[in-house]
Chains A and B, each alone.
Chain A
Amino acid sequence: MDWGFIGSHITDYTAGAWVTLRFGLYGVICSLVLGLLCCLARYFRVPVLKSIAHGYIELARNTPLLVQLFFLYAGLPRVGIRLSAEACAVIGLTFLGGAYMSEAFRSGLESVDKSQREAGECLGLTRAQNIRYVLLPQALATAVPALFANVIFLIKETSMFSVLAMMDLMNVADTLRTSGGHTVEVLFMLAAAYLVLLLPVSLAATLTERRLRYAGFGNQRTV
């Protein structure tokens, strides 16, 4: 292992990690919002919207991110819509992530007993109040593991951003590798960089899950 090479390129990797993290997080946040909206449309069977949400989810889940990014970056300009690489990156990741987040939220909402919703309705709560105070807190407790898994999955999917010529971690490594030798060092640092980014997320997931378990609401869960 050529430690000198690693030391001299560490700044390239921190720059790449910043791109990965920044656009990964934008995508994750937008995915959470889009996912929640789609999930609510389906859960409350909102006419028209529920079908649109369902169709979108199947389309997004069953096509690779690479294809979605190509479509945004190379396809859309043909019909006159030109987006920056960064915009394509965030839109593409959100398109993919929204579908996965929606399903994670839905698994949480479906696990909340229907009678909870009715109990909220019987108290005269509006639908929004019922969602906010009664349904979502309980749904999130169940959905948290799946939501965190999606966050990690989406941040890893940012490695596709290299096709948009963005200098994310993957592209930094690719560039270094093709510019001569040091393949082992380049890949070692790449793996290490993703680990440094994602291990804290995994840890946060474990801690949140444990907290929720000990907070135990007592429904479908033995304490």
Chain B
Amino acid sequence: MEPILRVKDIHKSFDGTGVLKGVSLEIHEGEVVVIIGPSGCGKSTLLRCINGLERIDRGEILLRDRRISGLEKDMHLVRQKIGMVFQSYDLFPHMKVMDNLLLGPTKALKRSREETEAEAMQMLSRVGLADKAQALPRTLSGGQKQRVALVRAMLMHPELLLLDEITAALDPEMVSEVLNVVIDLAEEGMTMAIVTHEMRFAEAVADRVLFMEDGVIAEEGGPEEFFREPRTERARQFLQSFTYASARKKEKADSGNPGSGKIR
């Protein structure tokens, strides 16, 4: 089957510093690709290049057979097919939740207000926010804002959804209410590219995991193999940084040594 998205050997640098150094990937319809890696490895830049928020220096990005370079005059037509949600929610603060949701479909896609409003209400209730339709964004919690942002992107009926660390700014107890929405979307067959630092979520949602390091994809695999037995040493180290040795265990082990327990 033809992939929805094809990224071929793209390069991108900022002020002479290479951020993407030859990245290639394909995403098929209904597939969920999770991109992980240390900060600064280029994963957010990769997503931003995919919908043309950054221009690529070299290489090629194709959404079906449409080229994306970030230079096109009709870039907005491509972006209508690619949804994106950011870490900072970026709801429009001067508009009520419902107007946030309707702006794209009614202005960019010229869909009728009534029809879109009905769909928006339905999606709001699915994410548990039916009572917030007339609220201003500033009255919502972070988790609620991010769910609205997801609904806003989905109402455009995108072919591909890009999620850039969407829970990174949330208090821990709000993370799952947002990620559960994403898992529902994945079950419904939404095609997604997700950058995240939530490893348990990554494992649960991914069809395929890409590990990026220093501007290239260093490892690629199914979630089970990747999280259980990463092939590269660098990926192993990265995954280990999410686990902690118990402080108390260490105390016990150290207790035999004279002088332990003192601050060095």
A contacts, CB < 8 Å to B: 113, 115-116, 118-127, 129, 133-134, 137-138, 141, 215-219, 223
| Contact with B90, one of A116, A137, A141, A223 (Cβ below 8 angstroms) | A116
With the chains together, A129 CA to B107 CA distance in Å? 8
Q: Which residues of B contact A123 (CB under 8 A)?
A: 79-80, 103-104, 108, 152-153, 156
A119:B92 contact, CB within 8 angstroms: yes
B138:A218 contact, CB within 8 angstroms: yes
Query: C-beta contact mask, B148-192 vs A, less than 8 Å → 1, else 0?
Result: 000011001000000000000000000000000000000000000
With the chains together, A112 CA to B88 CA distance in Å? 14
B138:A125 contact, CB within 8 angstroms: no
Q: Which residues of A contact B156 (CB under 8 A)?
A: 123-124
Q: Which residues of A contact B84 (CB under 8 A)?
A: 122
- Asked whether any CB of chain A lies closer than 8 Å to the CB of B144, the reply is no
The A/B interface has a contact count, at CB < 8 Å, of 76
A141:B88 contact, CB within 8 angstroms: no
Q: Which residues of B contact A137 (CB under 8 A)?
A: 94
- Asked whether any CB of chain A lies closer than 8 Å to the CB of B45, the reply is no
A133:B79 contact, CB within 8 angstroms: no
Say how far B47's CB is from chain A's closest CB, in angstroms: 11
B86:A115 contact, CB within 8 angstroms: yes
Leading 6 A-B pairs by shortest Cβ distance: A218-B138, A124-B80, A123-B104, A217-B93, A119-B90, A124-B108
- Asked whether any CB of chain A lies closer than 8 Å to the CB of B109, the reply is yes
Say how far A19's CB is from chain B's closest CB, in angstroms: 39
Instruction: Given A119-B90, A125-B76, A126-B108, output 20 extra A-B contacts at Cβ < 8 Å.
Output: A113-B88, A113-B90, A115-B86, A115-B88, A115-B90, A118-B86, A121-B53, A122-B53, A124-B77, A127-B76, A133-B92, A133-B107, A134-B92, A137-B94, A215-B94, A216-B138, A217-B93, A217-B94, A217-B136, A217-B138
A122-B83, A122-B84, A123-B103 given as contacts; is B92 within 8 A of A116 (CB)? yes
A125:B107 contact, CB within 8 angstroms: yes
